[in-house]
Structure 1
Amino acid sequence: MIGAYFKEYGRWYLLYVCMSALYFLSFFLFHLPAAYFLTSLSFNLSLLLGATIWFYLDFRRKMRLLQDIISLEELEGLNSPSELAFRSVLEEIQINEAERLLDLKSQNQDLQDLVKMWSHQMKVPLSALSLMAQTDQLERQEVRQQLLRVENYLDTLLTYLKFSDKKDDFRFEFCSVREIVSDLVKKYRISFLTKGLSVNLTGDWQLKSDKKWLSFAISQVLDNAIKYSREGGSIHIQLDEKGLTISDTGIGILPEDLPRLFEEGFTGYNGHEHKKATGLGLYMTKQVLDKLDLVISVDSEVEQGTQVSIYKQKRD
């Protein structure tokens, strides 16, 4: 404790020694009696000793107070301007830390809810695969369909976790959106065939973007178009220099659900009714497109179909 005290106040004792040396030099230069100097020095040392005891006891009290602190209310004994500023900083840190802990708690709860929802969705394709294995009725097309669903759920979850941890890996380059969409159509060909859907792809769109993340965003939109299209329906994908538009002839979206489509965890009427949604796909699509400086908009009519557009952010 003594060492800490002199580390805190050592500069003042050094200043006292320097001033005493100058004081002695003045006596020496003016040939004043040494007794006068010694008498003055003794008074100064007595005053310094008393002040040292006083400041040391106060310093020890404050140090013990800080060492034993549990709450900021215990710092009421710190009342000097610098100490009040110190208390203010501590209070601000405490408030920020409390808010951070609340955010972490909320994120943890959201993640738990997500995992529960995600695991529930995963049971559907896994149960289907298990049933086919048990009955020795492994149809290649159906197996591919269920594996594709598992892959999509995994991609969505991993993307969500990456964005939650701020671990994105964007790499921008010029790419053909038509090539991206063509690859996705090939990826989902089993889904198209299973539901008897026709797909029409026209035009192209060249832009500088991250091919992998853009492909993820478009895949979520295309997957939704397939899921909510009726058997024998059609999906039209139009590309031009303005952007991308995916139109389907599916069941459509309720008007009251449209404003909340991109909220985290929101599934809407269709998701609840058909039990096909995790509430993550469009949320992650919006997050990814925001990072890519792209805009997504949705127009839909119930029983008529849905049109999703992706285009460049307008510059002022």
Structure 2
Amino acid sequence: MTLETLKAVEDLPKAQLPLDEAYTALVNRMVAAEAQQVLDIKREQDDLEGLIKMWSHQMKIPISAMSLMFQTNQMNKQELQEQVFRLENDLNNLLSYLKYKRENDDYRFTKVSLKACVSSVIKTFSSQCIAKKIQISLMGDSEVITDIKWLGFCLSQVIDNAIKYSTSESEIRIIIKEQSIEIQDFGIGILPEDVPRLFEQGFTGFNGHEHEKATGLGLYMTKQILDKLSFDIEISSQIDQGTTVLLTKNK
């Protein structure tokens, strides 16, 4: 009799000898492990399906905005660029998430200049900063051993949020010290009850619901990846005063 032919654990003959009992216990463990594996796969499939639905809805927002511009013949180049960037950014985040889930050990550690890494990320958001007349100041530098691609991804999530929730003509300050990066904006802030849940998968909080700009996966992914990179992340915020995010390399 093989495990595949068993319809249930009860199909096993009643144990008579200690060896039979050991065999039954082993099969019980194998059946339980297989059942748990099936549940894990089902849960992962459900999570992925929910993710695709959520991200599809998110990507409909810039598509709808562009469609409205075409329908009303009110083409605004700057607004069109903004929506195209948002669409591309959401798509890239989705692909990065899928890659992260598929290749959880895809890390290459080298000596990295934090200033160079942050500067590269800032450049990708230059058009968004120009559109909202936001100034980003960058001070300091430090070198760490890390994966520049995935650290850049994490920084892009934090800086993207800082820009999204900043008011027009405001400032974002980025200060690099020894083994740390502090990103401070002076935007709408985060509700105190939302701060402890920011790293939960799918959590968007009040800001995400109110402004329809969040999938609830950016900071979740950021926390998971930063753990792999041996970085801590702390977020403090006050309503209508802004948010500060601190990334610190573990020694």
TM-score range, shorter chain: over 0.9
Larger Rg: 1
Aligned equivalents of 1:192, 1:116: Cα separation in 2: 29
Is 1:110 aligned with 2:47? yes
Task: State the TM-score, normalized to the length of structure 1.
Answer: 0.75
One-letter identity of the residue aligned with 1:261: L
Aligned equivalents of 1:94, 1:226: Cα separation in 2: 51
Instruction: Please say if residues 159 and 284 of structure 1, whose CA atoms lie closer than 8 Å, have aligned partners that are also in contact.
Output: no
Instruction: Please say if residues 289 and 295 of structure 1, whose CA atoms lie closer than 8 Å, have aligned partners that are also in contact.
Output: yes
Aligned position for 1:196:
133
> Which string of whole-angstrom CA distances, capped at 9 and with x for unpartnered residues, describes residues 252-300 of structure 1?
1111111111011111111111111000000011111111111111011
Map 1:87-236 → 2, pairs under 5 A:
87-236=24-173
CA, structure 1 residues 311+104, in 2 after alignment: closer, same or farther (shift >3 Å)?
A: same
| Alignment length (residue pairs) | 251
RMSD over aligned CA atoms reads 1.8
CA, structure 1 residues 127+196, in 2 after alignment: closer, same or farther (shift >3 Å)?
A: same
Give ranges in structure 2 of 5+ residues lacking alignment: none
SS in 2 for 1:279: coil
Higher helix proportion (structure 1 or 2):
1
CA positional deviation for 1:87:
1.0
The higher-RCO structure (CA 8 Å, 6+ apart) is 2
Aligned position for 1:243:
180
Aligned equivalents of 2:218, 2:141: Cα separation in 1: 24
Share of identical aligned residues, percent? 48
SS in 1 for 2:193: coil
Instruction: Please say if residues 156 and 284 of structure 1, whose CA atoms lie closer than 8 Å, have aligned partners that are also in contact.
Output: no
SS in 1 for 2:52: helix
CA positional deviation for 1:135:
4.5
Aligned equivalents of 2:242, 2:3: Cα separation in 1: 66
CA, structure 1 residues 286+68, in 2 after alignment: closer, same or farther (shift >3 Å)?
A: closer
Aligned equivalents of 1:130, 1:273: Cα separation in 2: 22
Q: Which segments of structure 1 move beyond 6 Å, counting only runs of 4 or more?
A: none
Aligned position for 1:76:
13
Match of 1:283 among 220, 233, 238: 220
Is 1:253 aligned with 2:190? yes
Aligned equivalents of 2:116, 2:60: Cα separation in 1: 33
CA positional deviation for 1:136:
4.7
> Which string of whole-angstrom CA distances, capped at 9 and with x for unpartnered residues, describes residues 215-250 of structure 1?
000000000000011112110011121410000001
One-letter identity of the residue aligned with 1:127: S
